[in-house]
Structure formats: C-alpha cells, structure tokens
C-alpha cells in the first residue's frame, strides 16, 4: 500500500508513466447521502455513468437500493455485486431474450417501454406476469440540457394515450418516465417535462402509480455552474404534488452523473508541447471521450510547485495516432507548463472509466484512493486546488 499526503507526493514517489486514476470514496458517499436525504422520493443510480463495482458497493452502503440498468450485462453486474439491490431495466428497446433472463434469472420486475411492440415483447418474455412495474417513456425536450436525449427514445403525444391504456392492462404498477437530457442547467427542464406527464395522464384517464423523472441532474464544470440541487428537488416536488395521481403514487429519479462525477479524477503526464497544444498520455479513446467528442471542459490543475501565475488556454492531444484524439478545451493552466509535467483532470467519475478503450495499445492505469476534496462540488462548494490536502492509498 502506497500512502502519500497529496497528489504531489504521489507524483514525487511514483513518477508514473501511465495515467493514474484517483478515486474519492467520501465524495461518492456524500453525494449519495445528499440524494437519499433530500430528494423527495426514491433515488435510483444510473449504472451506465460509472459501472465500477467498488462504486456500486459504496452507493449501496450509503443507502442507494435501486439501480437503473440498461443492458443485460449491467443486470448481471449489479445482480452479482449487490444481490439484494432492486434492478430496473430502463432501456426502452431490449432484446426479448434479455427481458426473459432479467425477469426469470435476476428478479427484475421493472421495465420501461415507449412502443406497443416493446410492451408485447415484455408480456411474451415474462409469460403474462402479474407482478410487473411498467413505465412508459415520454419524449420530452432537452433544450435546457448540455447533451440532448430527445431524439432516440420516447412516445410521441399522439401515441401516449393508447400506449398508457394498453400498458395499464398489463402492469401491476403503471409508471411514466422521461429524460430531460444530460447536465440539465435549470430546474425548469423538469417542470416543463412534468407538464407533459400531466397531459398524458389526462389524455389516457389512467391511474398512475410511479412517476420517474429520470436523470439529467448536473454537476459543476468550468463554464457550467448550475443552480443548487435543492432547487431541482423543490421544483420536481411541487410538480409531482400537483399531478392528477393517487395519494400513494411514488416519485423516482435516476441520477448518474450527479452521484459519480466527483468520485474520481485523472493524473496525466505532458509528453510534448507545441505552442498552446499539449500532448498527454490519455485522451479521446480513454477517460477523456467527452472532452473530445462533445467539447466537455473539465477542471484541470498543474501538479508542480513554483509554476507561473499567468494562466494560458491550452488544448490537448491524446496518445493515439488518430487526429480525432484531440480535446479542444480550452483548458487553463500555468503558461510555463512543459513536457514532464503532471496535470490532474477533475470530475471524471461520470463516463470517464465507462468510456475507456484499449485502442492503439493505450489505456493501462493505476487506481489510488485519495481523501482530498474534488476540484469542484455541488455538495461542499468549490474547493481551490492549491488549498487541498490529501492522503493517497494505492488500490490497484
């Protein structure tokens, strides 16, 4: 076990030639407790954001009992890791064989759908089971979110009434769900979507037992500083209370990013500098997929004492031979950054490890547990990197 007082100490002791992932269990626990204690309903972790078994166990130990799984592989993973967890198969388009395995072998009773064809698949695969929770996904706007999820899934307004009525006949508990998109920057996104829920209930005249507001809860990144999460919770609660539903109806949410983003960061080494371009040893085919492909800006800090006080804007190139392995940023670092320097890139707990590949032979890494604070947080307020102290323990 390697132990250090700070990320600087880790660099001095190890001088790693491969990327190093730092994980912060305390940050994941804090995020989970925040949702469990303050969201006015059931919190269900969206496993796709970060499927690490260690993180899954941390969330379970912190009170998260429900898990949104989107594939049979995720069903198997969570069932194996957390045998007592409640699994909800929330992908609206599933293989019939996957539905059957989830129901008969893993005890999954909750499924989402957005078409009559999917409803028929679920009924066939479960042999007309009488204990199903079936949630009809509505198509809602992603206008208030940084990443849209409005194009691929969701029943259209003219389809919803018939689909809800048919699903009501097959379900023990009928639900409505939606997804406002990833990184919703205003609570109004949920208020707007809840109006679609209201219209659907009125049009179908059905009793709804579950309203699932999906994911989209934001984290803090450079240039993306959202309102406090309590504002989202308050808006959702008011909208839910005003819906024409039974007094016993349940409210669910599916945070992924909000529970996992602060969990980890990445230490990379600068291999080359060309003007304002830095060549680093991780990139678009590793943990920085979002930085390359959707222009996501992550917080960065130079892990060197006596650096220039002047900041400059840089872009990154990753280690592969592909021109697409480019992260435009801008990432603001001391102007005198040079080859051999180490940079910490923060807020990579969401989708960082989940998107990793071994393309071109790159991708090996060490994982260390650290006790310092994330670079930014919606749970503690922003923390200046130079003021952080840390204890580091090698995990893998």
CA distances from 136 to 166, 176, 248 (A): 10, 5, 19
pLDDT top residue among 116 and 356: 116
> What pLDDT score was predicted for residue 167?
98
- The CATH number of residue 120's host domain is 3.20.20.10
Which domain covers residue 126, as residue numbers?
Answer: 26-259
pLDDT above 60 for 388: no
47 shares its domain with 60 = yes
Q: Active-site residue among 177, 253, 321, 353?
A: 321
Distances (CA, A) of 43 to 68, 102, 207, 309: 10, 21, 22, 43
267 and 125 share one domain: no
Which domain CATH number covers 384?
Answer: 2.40.37.10
Tally the domains of the chain: 2
Q: What confidence tens digit (pLDDT) does each residue in 16-64 have?
A: 788 999 999 999 999 999 999 999 999 999 999 999 999 999 999 999 9
**The two structure tokens encoding residue 252:** 């669910």
Q: Cα separation of 139 and 51, whole Å?
A: 26
At residue 6 the predicted structure's pLDDT band, cuts being 50, 70 and 90, is low
Whether 323 has a pLDDT exceeding 80, the answer reads: yes
> Residue 146's pLDDT is what?
82
40/160 same-domain check:
yes
Residue 119 and residue 243 in one domain = yes
Tell me how far apart the alpha carbons of residues 296 and 225 are, in angstroms, rounded to a whole number. 13
Residues in Cβ contact with 281 at an 8 Å cutoff, skipping those fewer than 6 apart: 17, 18, 19, 268, 269, 271, 318, 319, 362
- Would you call 253 a catalytic residue per the annotation? no
What is the pLDDT, as a whole number, of residue 152?
83
pLDDT at 305: 83
Residue that finishes a domain, picked among 239, 259, 279: 259
Is 322 found in the same domain as 214? no
Last residue of a domain, one of 200, 225, 259: 259
Cβ pair 71, 92 in contact under 8 A: no
In whole angstroms, give the CA distance from residue 393 to residue 396. 9
Mean pLDDT of the chain: 91
Which residue would you say has higher pLDDT here, 360 or 114?
114
Same-domain check for residues 38 and 100:
yes
Percentage of the chain surpassing pLDDT 90? 76
% of the chain surpassing 70 pLDDT: 93
As a whole number of angstroms, the distance between CA 149 and CA 69 comes to: 17
**Domain end position, chosen among 259, 288, 306:** 259
Q: Do 131 and 268 reside in the same domain of the chain? A: no
* In a shared domain, residues 211 and 279: no
């Amino acid at each position: 076990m390697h132990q250090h007082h700070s990320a600087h100490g880790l660099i001095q002791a190890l001088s790693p030639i491969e990327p190093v992932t730092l994980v912060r269990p305390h940050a994941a626990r804090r995020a989970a407790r925040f949702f469990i204690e303050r969201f006015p309903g059931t919190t269900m972790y969206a496993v796709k954001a970060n499927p690490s078994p260690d993180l899954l166990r941390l969330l379970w130990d912190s009170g998260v009992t429900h898990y949104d799984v989107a594939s049979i592989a995720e069903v198997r993973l969570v069932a194996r890791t957390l045998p007592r967890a409640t699994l909800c198969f929330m992908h609206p388009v599933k293989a019939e064989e996957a539905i059957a395995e989830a129901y008969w072998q893993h005890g999954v009773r909750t499924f989402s759908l957005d078409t009559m064809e999917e409803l028929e698949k679920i009924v066939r695969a479960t042999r007309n089971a009488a204990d199903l929770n079936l949630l009809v996904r509505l198509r809602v706007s992603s206008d208030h979110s940084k990443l849209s999820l409005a194009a691929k899934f969701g029943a259209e307004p003219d389809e919803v009434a018939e689909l809800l009525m048919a699903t009501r006949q097959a379900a023990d508990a009928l639900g409505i769900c939606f997804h406002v998109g990833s990184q919703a920057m205003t609570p109004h996104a949920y208020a707007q979507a809840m109006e679609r829920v209201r219209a659907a209930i009125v049009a179908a005249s059905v009793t709804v037992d579950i309203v699932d507001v999906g994911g989209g809860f934001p984290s803090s990144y450079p240039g993306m500083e959202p309102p406090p999460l309590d504002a989202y919770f308050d808006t959702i609660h008011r909208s839910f209370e005003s819906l024409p539903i039974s007094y016993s109806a349940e409210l669910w949410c599916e945070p992924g990013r909000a529970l996992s983003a602060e969990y980890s960061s990445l230490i990379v080494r600068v291999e080359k500098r060309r003007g304002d371009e830095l060549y680093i040893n991780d990139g678009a085919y590793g943990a920085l997929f979002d930085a390359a492909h959707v222009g996501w800006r992550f917080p960065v800090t130079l892990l060197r004492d006596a650096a220039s006080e002047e900041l400059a804007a840089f872009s990154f190139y990753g280690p592969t031979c592909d021109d697409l392995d480019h992260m435009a940023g801008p990432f603001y670092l001391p102007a005198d950054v040079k080859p051999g320097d180490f940079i910490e890139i923060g807020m990579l707990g969401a989708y960082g490890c989940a998107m990793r590949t071994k393309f071109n032979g790159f991708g090996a890494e060490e994982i260390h547990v650290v006790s310092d604070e994330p670079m930014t947080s919606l749970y503690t307020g922003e923390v200046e990197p130079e003021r952080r102290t840390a204890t580091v323990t090698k995990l893998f």
